[in-house]
Amino acid sequence: MLRVVQWTTGNVGQRAARAVIEHPGLELAGCYAWSNDKSGRDIGELIGVEPLGIAATNDVDALLALEPDCVVYTPKFPQVDELVRILEAGVNVVATAGFITGHAFGEAGLRRLQAACERGGSSIFGSGANPGFLNLIGLVSTVICDRVDCITVTESVDSTGYDSPETEKPCGFGRPIDDPALPAMAQAGTAVFGDAVRMMADALGLAIDAVQFEAEFAQTTQDLDLGSWQIDAGCVAGIATSWQGRCKGATVLNLKTVWRKGEHLEPDWQVEHAYLVEVQGQPCVSTRVQFYPGKDFAFSTFKELMVIGMIATAMPAIHAIPAVVAAPPGIVTYADLPLTVARGMVRQG
Backbone Cα Rg of the chain: 20
Average pLDDT over residues 71-75: 97
Average pLDDT over residues 286-312: 86
Tell me if the bond preceding 328 is cis, omega within 30° of 0: no
Average pLDDT over residues 84-107: 97
pLDDT at residue 202 greater than cutoff 90: yes
Name the average pLDDT for the chain: 96
Average pLDDT over residues 43-48: 96
Q: Are the C-beta atoms of 289 and 155 separated by less than 8 Å?
A: no
Q: Map out the domains of the chain as residue ranges.
A: 2-129+311-332, 146-282
Task: Report the distance separating Cα 289 and Cα 286, nearest Å.
Answer: 10
pLDDT by residue (tens digit) across 105-144? 999 999 999 999 999 999 999 999 999 999 999 999 999 9
Looking at residue 198, what is its pLDDT? 98
Share of the chain above pLDDT 70, in %: 99
User: 263-277, 281-295, 301-315: which range is least confident on average?
Assistant: 301-315
Average pLDDT over residues 188-206: 97
Q: At what angle do helices 106-120 and 80-88 cross, to 10 degrees?
A: 20
Please choose, from the candidates 322, 307, 314, the residue with its C-alpha nearest in 3D space to the C-alpha of residue 7: 314
Looking at residue 147, what is its pLDDT? 97
CATH of domain 2-129+311-332: 3.40.50.720
Model-wide pTM > 0.85: yes
pLDDT by residue (tens digit) across 219-264? 999 999 998 999 999 999 999 999 999 999 999 999 999 999 999 9
Looking at residue 300, what is its pLDDT? 65
Task: Report the distance separating Cα 124 and Cα 93, nearest Å.
Answer: 5
